[in-house]
Amino acid sequence: MLMKALRVGLGQLILLGDAVSRPRPQRRSAQAQVEVAKKAAGLSLYQFHACPFCVKTRRALRRLNVPMTLHDAKNDPVARDRLLADGGKIQVPCLHIQEEGQSRWLYESKAIIAYLEQRFAGAV
């Protein structure tokens, strides 16, 4: 019980830190932002709200100004079941990539951020 209280407290501190130091979104022309939104339409992030690695990944999304559907794999049983059934394991963050009729599940915050950087950092 003590460990759960500690974990919840630390999660709230992480969220507070994120809220007060949130990065500014990348600026783009309106047309470039529409293109980014089109490219991101096939992406969705499975995450836990207070997970530090998920916060890190969401900060990268904000910094890169990439709109994306977020799925709460902790509190949404449908999202959790889909993550397990299609992704193979309940591990967050997990980026679901659907493009050209193919579906991929990318785990690990570093790999997800590297993918996002490669795909969206240069879109100005």
- The predicted pLDDT at position 92 comes to 97
pTM of the model: 0.88
Length of the chain: 124
CA distance 103 to 94: 13
Count of domains observed in the chain: 1
Q: Which residues span the domain enclosing 116? A: 2-120
Whichever domain contains 43, its CATH number is 3.40.30.10
Task: Give the pLDDT confidence of 65-104 residue by residue, as tens digits.
Answer: 999 999 999 999 999 999 999 999 999 999 999 988 899 9
3-state secondary structure at position 89: coil
CA-to-CA separations, 61 to 7, 64, 111, 112, in angstroms, rounded: 25, 5, 13, 10
Task: Give the pLDDT confidence of 45-65 residue by residue, as tens digits.
Answer: 999 999 999 999 999 999 999
Burial of 11 (0-12, 13-18, 19+ CB in 10 A): middle
